[in-house]
Amino acid sequence: MALVTVTDSARDYLAQLIEKQDVEGMGVRIFVTQPGTRNAETCLAYCPPNEIVPTDEQVDLEKFTLYLDHNSVPFLEDAYVDYSKDQMGGQLTIKAPNAKVPQVSDDAPLPDRVNYVLATEINPNLAAHGGDVQLVEIVDESVAVLRFGGGCQGCSAVSLTLKQGVEKTLKEVVPEITEVRDVTDHSYTENAYYQ
């Protein structure tokens, strides 16, 4: 079963919302749209009894049942739902670190492990500049061939990003990687973060 943590404050908040729906047996369904892609989003929705999917996993949260979408389960590992009060009322937060790429084991194929590091550690940092990097292929069993996009394509700082950021992180986390190569056409600079 996927480990989804729902804090007490989130349980109470969701229970209050469910109560207002005035539907006997109403629950909450958690799912990931476009799981395993960079466009993945983790969502919560009301789940009335007539919409329960038999293959979904059920978690009894005492005040209501949480339904985990069967196809989303690998992507919901370590998901976290919290509610915090603020001056505007409050904020419901859903964090699912494995929504874009499911967590992989140490013995997973090399491309899967590289893609996991790119999705969870490297691309979130590059996104601050509107950039991203994708794995093209692994060559010679230890060389990651990458393509930069968005604000990284044509950026004047991309060689520094490649060596000091991407390559360093990949080598640390995936020791089989000995080198990283960039096959991006950096002559296209229209979206470059640094020109």
Length of the chain: 195
Q: Which residues contact 45 (CB under 8 A, 6 or more apart)?
A: 28, 29, 31
Q: Answer yes or no: are the C-beta atoms of 43 and 28 closer than 8 Å.
A: no
Q: Tell whether 43 is in a known binding site.
A: no
Cα→Cα distances 163→2, 86, 136, Å: 36, 42, 17
Judging by DSSP bridges, how do beta strands 131-139 and 91-95 pair with one another? unpaired
| Residues of the binding site | 152, 155
| Residues of the binding site for [4Fe-4S] cluster | 152, 155
